[in-house]
Amino acid sequence: MTVIASLLRAAQLPDSPTARLDAELLLAAALGKSRSYLHTWPEKIVSSEAALTFADFLQRRRGGEPVAYILGQQGFWKLDLEVAPHTLIPRPDTELLVETALQLLPATPASVLDLGTGSGAIALALASERPAWKVTAVDRILEAVALAERNRQRLALNNVSVLNSHWFSALAGHRFDLIISNPPYIAVGDVHLDEGDVRFEPESALVAGADGLDDIREIVAAAPQHLNAGGWLMLEHGYDQASAVRNLLQGAGFVEVASRKDLGSHERITLGRLPC
């Protein structure tokens, strides 16, 4: 017979910087319980079926597969989201986009666009905090659109519409008070593409040309035709791209251009306002 405590002690994840947390999340999922259950009942006997499931999870994690993909879910903001390998895994740094958007616009009615929504994380987080906002979430990958829609339905957020669109391609004639995006921003051949969880994430959601700015250039150039006067454009970007993104926004006529720092004190998002 095997108990919870002994399974956790035996779990070996040498290449993970969060080995203990990973093991707890995987065991809790195998048991169908919460992490707190593991600490409350460390001497509970684990069924052979659950032990085998846990062993399979550990093997996949040792191969580098992200915990979020193994479990099919990831927390973001205050939400639990379904995730899948055809979308990026929502990360804590991206919550800075949500925080800043909530500061920029009041809780009164507004129209918001989330470009490249993936799992729907940004759009759904904003919609959950601002019921009066009408949020449109778009992605060019059909599987991502279906995933974001499943998350929307499960969370019962009826102020969100999920559409298939490559950036603005399906949005002719539509204008918004805020356009927000976490687009691809890694350069082709960047060494980070061969490290950690990123190895398992879709390259189409990560890579954007020789300097990583191709998609940001496209968004910045097109955004003024889709913003209301005084509307905001806000973009996540690489830790060393803030200056370049500020220049792009200023060159496109945006004012009040500024960057904000993430949890690691890197300038991670940049925003600008269309003149009134």
Q: Which residues are annotated as a binding site for substrate?
A: 182-185
Tokens of residue 234, six digits: 């806000």
Q: Which residues contact 111 (CB under 8 A, 6 or more apart)?
A: 133, 134, 136, 175, 176, 177, 178, 228
Tokens of residue 262, six digits: 């993430």
**Strand ranges (DSSP E) for 40-104?**
45-46, 73-76, 79-82
Strands 45-46 and 110-115: what pairing? unpaired
What is the rounded CA–CA span in Å between residue 54 and residue 51?
Answer: 5
Tokens of residue 248, six digits: 């792009």
Rounded to 10 deg, the angle between the 121-129 and 95-104 helix axes is 40
Task: Kindly state the DSSP code that residue 252 receives in the 8-state scheme.
Answer: T
What is the rounded CA–CA span in Å between residue 154 and residue 106?
Answer: 26
The annotation places the binding site at 116-120, 139, 167, 182-185
The annotation places the binding site for S-adenosyl-L-methionine at 116-120, 139, 167, 182
Q: Report DSSP letters for 178-200, one per residue.
A: EEEE----BPTT-GGGGSGGGGG
Tokens of residue 84, six digits: 């899948």
